[in-house]
Amino acid sequence: MNRIQKQFSERLNRGEKLFVPYIMAGDGGLGVLEERLTFLEQNGAAAIEIGIPFSDPVADGPTIQKAGIRSLKEGTTLKSTLIKIGEIRSSINVPLVIMTYMNPILAYGIDQFVVNMEKVGVDGCIIPDLPIEEEDILATKLEEAGIELIRLVTLVTPKERVEKIAKKGQGFLYTVTIKGITGIRNEFDKSLVNFLEMVKEVSNIPVVAGFGVSTAEQVKELSLNCDGVVVGSRIVDLFYENKLDEIAELMKAILIEEKVFRG
């Protein structure tokens, strides 16, 4: 069983919800990566999504784009990030998921990418610009290496396509909560609750909602209708501002909500 499946299954069986923070690799330099991963693990992360800086990030909003630019100025690459993960992996127990785009993977070399992902202990990857119709270029190789390809569905994904995508995954189904790029939102589309309920109904794997989630109230609200949440832009901002206490408080929100569930 992949580390993501094992971790998520254990937590969900205990009645817990899943908090998955996102960070940008190399924002502040790769030297802080171990420290930040350890901090997030200690504060209850079910898995951690590690973004790879890229010059044309089609799914990323202003906050993550700025973090990516800062990281690129530090000289961060997909290769250097994987090397760093390999150096620190033995001290990190939580599942690690790489978020990148196809261009860096193609430049790296697909076979070498998969080999090194497995070698350094990465458990999954998210590739927003890889549709399921084109994923054969990579999906089988990842599966053979025991690495989960985390697929996405959005508010405009028809139910039939959600069912098709959900059947392909083993880790979790990343459910995008907004019609657009990442970034902080004050409110969500009124159709979101119904959409999450539909995705939960058709998916046999955990449903984790992300994009636009930035407050404790949103974490609580969204986790009522799915298995967990991804928080990206807010975590990136708070690390950049060195507001670690606020990150810890945000991550506690999902645990506080769980106490309410249990009565």
Just list the catalytic residues: 49, 60
- How much of the chain is helix, strand and coil, in % rounded to 5? 50, 15, 35
* Segment 7-16 long-range contacts (CB within 8 Å, at least 24 positions apart): 7/46, 7/47, 7/94, 7/95, 8/46, 8/47, 8/171, 8/172, 8/206, 8/227, 11/46, 12/206, 12/227, 15/258, 15/261, 15/262, 16/255, 16/258
Q: How far apart are CA 168 and CA 170, in angstroms?
A: 7
Phi, psi of 140 (to 5 degrees): -65, -40
What is the length of the chain? 263
Question: What is the DSSP code (8-state) at residue 98?
Answer: E
Q: Are 219 and 235 in contact (CB under 8 A)?
A: no
Q: Write the CB contacts of 86 (distance below 8 Å, at least 6 apart in sequence).
A: 116, 119, 120, 121
How are beta strands 18-24 and 228-231 bridged, if at all? parallel
CA distance 40 to 72: 23
How far apart, in whole angstroms, are the C-alpha atoms of residue 13 and residue 11? 5
